[in-house]
Structure 1
Amino acid sequence: MKYLTKTIEYGLYLLAFLLPLGTRWIIKAGPTEYLTYSLYGTDILLILLLMLFIFVIASDRRERSNLGFVAIDRGLLRRCAPRNDRVVWLLIVGLGLVLLVSIFFAIDKGLALYKFGWLVLGAGLFWLVSQAAYSRVKLVGSLLVGLGFQAGLGIWQFLAQATFANKWLGLALHRASDLGTSVVETVGADGVGERWLRAYGGLDHPNILGGMLAIGILLLIGQYIKFPISNNQFPNKFQISNFKFQNYLKVIFWFLLVIFSTALFFSFSRAAWLALAVGLAAGLLAAIIKKDLRAQRNLLETILVSGLIFFILFFQFPNLVMTRLYSGERLEIKSKSERLESIKNSWPIIKNNWASGVGVGNYTLALPLQRPGEQPYFYQPVHNVFVLAFSEIGIFGLLFFILIIIFPFVRLLRRREYAASRNDSKLAILVALIVVMSLDHWLWSLHFGMLFFWLALGLAHRDSCG
C-alpha cells in the first residue's frame, strides 16, 4: 500500500508538471477547437491516478473493517472537517447534476456529454489535490517548473518571431503573416506597418499563457513567503536552515520570477496584466491589514523586480504596449468591439434559455441560430466565464459554480490561522482567477483551462481546511 500511495503522490507531481502540454489524440476533428473531440495525455495519467486512489482507499477501508478498526491513519488522506467536505461536495454534485440535465437541452448532445467528461476529470483532480497525501511544496514546485518551460518557449517565440509544430509536445505552428494568428499590429519607426507575433508558449492562445503565468507568479510569491513555514517539507539535510540550500531556493525563485514576468509581458495579454496587478494588490492589502511586515517586504520586492522588468521591456517595445493599451489600430479596435459584441449576443441566448441553458459546450452552436450568416471566426465563446456558464447551463448551474468558487475564499477569510502570511497568496490567486474569468473564457471552454481551474481550486480548498 505504501508503494501505491507513493505512486499516486509522484504521479500528481508529474501531472502538475505536464499539465500545460497539449499532447493529444484527436478523436474527431471539428471546424473549431470548441467542437473537436480529443483524448489528452494528461487525461490518461489523471484517470490512472484516480483509479489507483480509489483502489487504495477501498483496500484501506476493507482492511480496517476486517480488523475492526474505524480510525487507522495511514497518511492516505488529508481530510477536511466533515462539514466543510460535505458542503463543497454537495455543491460539486449539484453542478454535475445541472450539467447532466443540460445535456438533454443541448443542440449536440454528444458534444455536451464530452464536455461533461471534462467536469468529471476536473472534479477528480480536485478530489486528488484536496484529499491525497503529498507535499504541497513539491506539487506547486512541479507546476512552476512546468510553467517555466512554457515561459521560456514563449520568450523564444517572441524574440525569434517564429514557432514550430510538434505533435508529441502538442505544439501548433503560428506565423505572424497568417490571418487568425494573435499578433500586435502597429506602425514602425519607418512608417511601415508591422505584425508582431505574441508569445503562445505551448498553449492555444497568448491570453492563456498570460493568465497561467499571472497565477504562476502569485503561486511563486506564495512559496517565497512560505520558505520558513515549508521547512519541514524537505529532508533534514535540505532544510532551510542550510544556508547554501536557502540561497539555491532564492536563486530559483528570482530566476523563475524573471522568466515568468518576461513571458507575461511578451504575451501582451491585457487581462493577464490586470489579473496580476489586482492579485498583487489584494495580497499586499491583506498583509498591510494584518501588519505582516515580512509579507509586505517580500511582496514589495517581487513587485519591484517584476515592475523593473516590465519597465525595461516597455522602453524596448513602447509602440507595442501603447498599441495594446491605448491605440486605435485596426486589430485593437476589432478586438474590443468583438468582445463587446460577444457579450451583447449572449443575452438573447440567456433570455431564451435562462433555466436550462443551451447545453454545456454548445454555446458556439447556439450562436449561429441567433446570428446566422456571419463568418466562421465570428462564432466564438463569449469572453466571460460567468456569462458563458449562464448561457450553457442556466441560472442554477451558474449559482452552483459561483458558490464553489466562493466557498474556499470564505473559508480562508474565516480561518483563525489567517494571521499566517501563507494564506495571502491563496486569496490573491482566487482574486486573480476571478479577474481572468471575468475577461476571458478559456478556464471554462478549453481542456487545459478546465483542469487548471480545478487544480487551483483544489489547492485553495485544501488550504482552507487547515
Structure 2
Amino acid sequence: MPLQFGIALSFILMMGWVRLIPPPFGAPDLNATRFALLWVMMATTAIWVAMGAPGFAALCRDRLRALSALALLLLGIWAYASQGWTFTHEIDPNVTASAGLIWCVVAVYTLVVASAAQRRLLITLMIAVGSLVAVVTLAQVARQSTLGLGFLGEYQRSLTTNGNSILQAGDWRFLRPSGFSPHPNMLGGLLVVATLLATARATQAHGRMRNIYLGLLALTFLALLVTFSRSAWLALAVAGGSLWLMMRMPWRRWLPVALVGALIAAIFLMSCWPLIAARAGVGEESIELRSVADRIVFTDLALRAIAEQPLIGQGAGAFPWRSAYYIRETFYDLLGDQVHQIFLAVWAELGIVGLGLFITGLLCGIVAGLRRLEHDRHDRAALLAVAIAFVVIGLFDHYPYSQLPLITLWWGCVAAAAQP
C-alpha cells in the first residue's frame, strides 16, 4: 500500500510544478532539489527497495525491458559524470549537478514504475488531475491573469507583466494560460496526456461512465486548444491516430469521441480565428515572427555545440550557458536558452554517447509495450500514445528532456506501458 501510494502521488505531482523553497532536509539548493516531486520519487524508490524490489526479477528476465532500463540507468550515470567535463564546471557547477541528479533519480524511479505500477490506477489519476488543471487553465483564460494559487505552483502572469507569452492579432492581446507550469507549451504537453487518456477511456466505457469521460475529454481538449501550443496540437493529432490504430475499436465506439472533438474544435475556431491565424504565421505580427526566428537561431547554436564536442557533449544542462557565450559573438538580442528539439539537446549536452543511450532506452521501452498489446490492449495503447505524443512534442520543444515533471511523466508512461 505505501508503495502504490508513493507511485500515485508521484504521478499527481508530475501534472504540476509544486516547489519547495528552500529544499528540505538541508539539501543543496539546486533546481532539482526544489521539486516536491523529486523527494516523493526518492521516498517511493526507498520503499520499493525496502520491500525487496518487487517485480524487478521479472523485469530483468525480459530482454527489451531490461535493455531499456539499463540504457536509462547508464544515461543517468553519464549525465551525472558529465560534471567532470561540463562547460559550466568553473562558472556554475550546480547546473550540471542538478541536471545529472534529475536523470539519476528518473532512471531509478522508472525501475519502480516498470516493476510495480498499476496501469489502470495511474491512468485514472492522470485524467482526474489533468481535468483539474484544465479547469484552472480555462479560468486563467477567462480572467486573463493568474488565480492566486501560488501555493500549488502557479506562476504569476498578467498582460502587463514582462516576459509572459502573449498572442497579438491586431488590437487583440491574449495572455496564453500556463496552468501550474512555467510556460504554456509545458501546460499543453500535460493536457495532451489528459486528452489522450480521456479519449481512450471514452471509447471503452458504457452508459453514464462514457458520458463522464466524454465530458472530461471536452474539458481537457478545449483547455489544450486555448494554450495555443502548436507542438501539443500536432502531438495530439499524431498520437490520436496512433491510439486509433493500436486500440482496434469498432468505428461506432469512436463516433461520440469524434463528434465531441469536432464540436469543441468548431467552437474554438469560430471564437479565436484571428489568434489562430497569428499563431500560424499569417500576417506580420512581430511576436510570432520572433518566436520562429529564435528557434532557428538556437538550432544553429546547438549544431555548433555538437561540432565542438560531438562525442561527450557540453555537459548535462550546460547548453543554455554555452549558447549564451555564442550569442555574445553575434548581434542577436537574446539570452541563452535550450534548443527546441530534444534530440539535438541531448546530443549537444551529452554527446553521441548520451544520444545513443537515450534513443535505445526509449525505443526498447516502446517496442516492449507494442509487443504486449494483445494483453490489456486499451490501457497499454493509451500509455503508448502518450509516449508517442512526447516524441512529437520533442521535435519542436525541449521540455520533455529538460524539465523534471515532463521527463518523469514521459519515461513513466513508457515503463508502465511495457509492464506484463
TM-score when normalising by structure 2:
0.89
Alignment correspondent of 1:343: 299
Q: How many Å apart are 1:450 and its aligned residue?
A: 1.9
The question of whether the paired residues in 2 share the 8 Å contact of 1:24 and 1:170 is answered with yes
Alignment correspondent of 2:196: 218
Task: Tell me how far apart the structure 2 counterparts of residues 354 and 24 of structure 1 sit (CA, whole Å).
Answer: 35
Which runs of 5 or more residues in structure 1 are unaligned? Answer: 1-5, 29-34, 59-74, 188-192, 228-245
Q: Matches of residues 45-194 of structure 1 in structure 2 within 5 Å?
A: 45-57=40-52, 79-80=58-59, 81-106=61-86, 107-108=88-89, 109-132=93-116, 134-187=117-170, 193-194=171-172
Does residue 438 of the first structure (1) align with residue 366 of the second (2)? no
Task: Tell me how far apart the structure 2 counterparts of residues 458 and 115 of structure 1 sit (CA, whole Å).
Answer: 21
Letter in 2 for 1:213: L
Greater displacement, 85-94 / 45-54 = 85-94
Alignment correspondent of 1:70: none
Does residue 410 of the first structure (1) align with residue 405 of the second (2)? no
Does residue 460 of the first structure (1) align with residue 417 of the second (2)? yes
Alignment correspondent of 1:359: 315
CA deviation string 1:263-285 (max 9, x = no partner): 00110111100100111122334
Q: How many Å apart are 1:436 and its aligned residue?
A: 0.4
Alignment correspondent of 1:309: 264
Moved runs in structure 1, 4+ residues, more than 4 A? Answer: 35-38, 75-78, 373-377, 418-423
| The structure with more radius of gyration | 1
Q: 1:363 to 1:18 in 2, by over 3 A?
A: same
Alignment correspondent of 1:334: 290
2:35 aligned residue (35, 40, 50): 40
What SS class does the counterpart of residue 317 from structure 1 fall into? helix
1:199 aligned residue (172, 177, 184): 177
**Between Structure 1 and Structure 2, how many residues are aligned?**
407
2:238 aligned residue (262, 266, 278): 278
The question of whether the paired residues in 2 share the 8 Å contact of 1:283 and 1:428 is answered with yes
The question of whether the paired residues in 2 share the 8 Å contact of 1:184 and 1:323 is answered with yes
The question of whether the paired residues in 2 share the 8 Å contact of 1:363 and 1:391 is answered with yes
Does residue 209 of the first structure (1) align with residue 187 of the second (2)? yes
- TM-align CA RMSD: 2.4
CA deviation string 1:41-91 (max 9, x = no partner): 222222221111111117xxxxxxxxxxxxxxxx76693344234322321
CA deviation string 1:299-326 (max 9, x = no partner): 4432331222011121012111111114
Which runs of 5 or more residues in structure 2 are unaligned? Answer: 24-29
TM-score when normalising by structure 1:
0.81
Q: Matches of residues 367-386 of structure 1 in structure 2 within 5 Å?
A: 367-372=323-328, 377-386=334-343
Alignment correspondent of 1:230: none
The question of whether the paired residues in 2 share the 8 Å contact of 1:26 and 1:37 is answered with no
Does residue 10 of the first structure (1) align with residue 17 of the second (2)? no
Q: How many Å apart are 1:124 and its aligned residue?
A: 2.9
Letter in 2 for 1:153: V
Q: 1:181 to 1:78 in 2, by over 3 A?
A: farther
Q: Identity over the aligned pairs, expressed in percent? A: 23
Q: 1:337 to 1:177 in 2, by over 3 A?
A: same
Letter in 2 for 1:249: M
The question of whether the paired residues in 2 share the 8 Å contact of 1:25 and 1:39 is answered with yes
The question of whether the paired residues in 2 share the 8 Å contact of 1:57 and 1:76 is answered with no
The question of whether the paired residues in 2 share the 8 Å contact of 1:17 and 1:145 is answered with no
Task: Tell me how far apart the structure 1 counterparts of residues 118 and 203 of structure 2 sit (CA, whole Å).
Answer: 17
Q: How many Å apart are 1:37 and its aligned residue?
A: 5.7
Q: 1:136 to 1:409 in 2, by over 3 A?
A: closer
